[in-house]
Amino acid sequence: MKTPIPVLLLTGYLGAGKTTLLNHLLQLPGIRARKIALIINEFGPLGIDGKLVAPGNYARFELNKGSVFCICIKTDFIRTLETIAREVVPDLVIIEATGVADPCDLSQIIDSPNLRDAFQIGANVCLVDACGFTAVAAFLRTAPRQVMWADGLVINKSDLVPSSDLDSLGRILQELNPVAPRTVVSHGRIPEEFLDGLTHQVRLAPVPETPLEGLVSVSLQTDGVVNEADFLAAIASLNGSLLRLKGTVCFKNRTRFVEVIHGRVSEKDPPAGLPKTAFTAIGWQIDKAALHSTFHSCFQYDTRP
């Protein structure tokens, strides 16, 4: 029998830096030397996360109809793994789960005749945002549950918070998951030896059947220009209802890749392969039509000086 293909799972709440971590992992000598297959799991149909992954010699698959942990896309997930086992035959599969994933143990999802001998879960690595974890963990169950299911915890963005906040966060994580090893990093720069030391602990629980209640997602595109003042006002008006926004936005005098994390707006040069304006917004306890309308109203040619 062939040796089962190990699966490395990356979880972590919205904006924790999973894609940055993934790009770092792909450059580690022990991973770069292997044949890799990537599964990018996104909460939205635009495939934005896939465009942010650094180019490389690996097979890439995208699942954007829901979380890989949810029974709602179990068939698509299984078919993807079957294709990887049959056509790619990699040395390692890396799965980047959507940030709103409500986790369970993937071993029970792949426990099917065609998969159970082909794959084994190597480790579940949860990325924790040092800046925003405590703010969301109090009202969104997915953030602490991702920590509880992890085999290893990576505290990211450590350079953005004082040491006292890191100490407090460490105590919270210790209560949520006292057995998972932890490392503190910035920019997702996880040490390779930390990754090599992780082992998967099987913990069985029911597979989630529906997305997290109260969570909505809208994806918007336009070939026109977005009114920048209205766009920023829309973000401000949503306040705590906007959990995440990510994508390219064409303003009057420039096109930028815009991210909103915990109310903070940042922008940088856009990746190739996306339309002028194409972004996904994830909201919490807001009507989906209202979320869509709030941003769609910004789609107009900006004639202001």
* Calpha distance 134→287 (Å, rounded): 25
The whole-number pLDDT of residue 68 equals: 79
The whole-number pLDDT of residue 213 equals: 67
pTM recorded for the entire structure? 0.83
* Calpha distance 152→195 (Å, rounded): 8
H or E element in which residue 291 lies: helix 288-296
Write the CATH number of the domain with boundaries 215-296: 3.30.1220.10
- What single-letter DSSP state applies at residue 84? I
Range(s) within the chain of domains with CATH label 3.40.50.300: 5-196
Range(s) within the chain of domains with CATH label 3.30.1220.10: 215-296
Helices (H) and strands (E) in the chain, counts: 11, 12
Cα dist. 171→17, 134, 168, 174, 218 in Å? 21, 11, 5, 5, 36
Query: Residue 167 class from Cβ within 10 Å (0-12 exposed, 13-18 middle, 19+ buried)?
Result: exposed
The whole-number pLDDT of residue 116 equals: 83
The whole-number pLDDT of residue 130 equals: 93
Task: Name residue 9's amino acid.
Answer: L
The whole-number pLDDT of residue 156 equals: 96
Q: For residue 72, how many other CB atoms are within 10 A of its CB? A: 16
Class of domain 5-196: alpha beta
305 residues of the chain, pLDDT tens digit each: 578 999 999 999 988 999 999 999 999 999 999 999 999 988 766 667 777 788 888 999 998 877 777 777 788 898 999 999 999 999 999 999 988 888 877 887 777 777 888 999 999 999 999 998 988 887 778 899 999 999 999 999 999 999 999 999 999 999 999 999 999 999 999 999 999 999 998 887 666 655 566 778 899 998 889 999 999 999 999 987 888 899 999 998 889 999 998 778 999 998 777 668 999 998 888 899 999 999 999 997 544 44
The answer to whether 278 and 48 have CB atoms below 8 angstroms apart is yes
* Calpha distance 84→106 (Å, rounded): 16
* Calpha distance 226→228 (Å, rounded): 6
